[in-house]
Amino acid sequence: MNKFVILGITLLALMPLIDNSFSSFQTEIGDDIFIFVQTSVKNSDGQLVTYLESSKFSHLDLSALDSFLDFEASQGSAPIITINGKQYETIRRVQSQSFDSEGLVASTILYDNIDGKLVPLARFTHDGYATILGDTLESIWTFIRPVS
């Protein structure tokens, strides 16, 4: 019994030192960047099957994301909004996908093509949803960052 208690206490003490691959990043208005993603899945009849939203992410590549957003903003479609007297740039990206087989999706990921390689910029990990042939997915990514 004492061995289990000591082992448990030792593991608890070591937890901060262990690399946590399941960490999360919460974004909020006023941060260098606020990210909000809405994902909906509809069946082949157009009926809503799943709706998920989050501003909490299990992966963020902030340097690649900054480059991505700089490019997106340079396309001229980043409206400026004012919140509490501060100006913010709003950038939206819509991703769509049709499913041609059954499966399970457990995260929503925004990729960018960098030098011919798909690089994940942000990942929203969730419990998952089942898909079948004919289902369609739409993810709306909204990014809000201060105007510099």
Check residues 92 and 24 and name the one with the higher pLDDT: 92
Q: Would you list the domain boundaries of the chain? A: 22-146
Whether 94 shows a pLDDT value over 50: the answer reads yes
Give per-residue pLDDT as tens, 34-46.
889 999 999 999 9
- The continuous run of DSSP H or E covering 83 comes out as strand 80-83
CA dihedral (72, 112, 119, 136) positive or negative = positive
Give per-residue pLDDT as tens, 46-69.
999 999 888 888 888 888 888 999
- The continuous run of DSSP H or E covering 129 comes out as strand 117-131
Contacts with 135 (C-beta within 8 Å, 6 or more apart), sequence order: 41, 42, 43, 44, 49, 98, 99
Q: How confident is the model at residue 14 (pLDDT cuts 50, 70, 90)?
A: very low
Structure tokens at 27: 């974004």
Residue 16 has φ and ψ, to the nearest 5°, of: -65, -20
- The continuous run of DSSP H or E covering 34 comes out as strand 34-42
The pLDDT, as a whole number, for residue 43 is 94
Q: How confident is the model at residue 12 (pLDDT cuts 50, 70, 90)?
A: very low
Whether 83 shows a pLDDT value over 60: the answer reads yes
Q: Are 134 and 41 in contact (CB under 8 A)?
A: no
Nearest to 106 by CA among 136, 89, 126, 77: 126
Does this model's pTM top 0.85? no
Mean pLDDT check: name the lowest of 22-31, 77-86, 105-114, 117-126: 22-31
Cα-based distances in Å from 68 to 27, 88, 113: 17, 17, 10
Nearest to 52 by CA among 37, 63, 70: 37
Structure tokens at 70: 């700089």
- C-alpha span between 14 and 89 (Å, rounded): 42
**DSSP symbol at 48:** E
The pLDDT, as a whole number, for residue 124 is 83
The pLDDT, as a whole number, for residue 95 is 92
Give per-residue pLDDT as tens, 98-141.
999 898 887 888 999 889 999 999 888 777 888 999 999 999 99
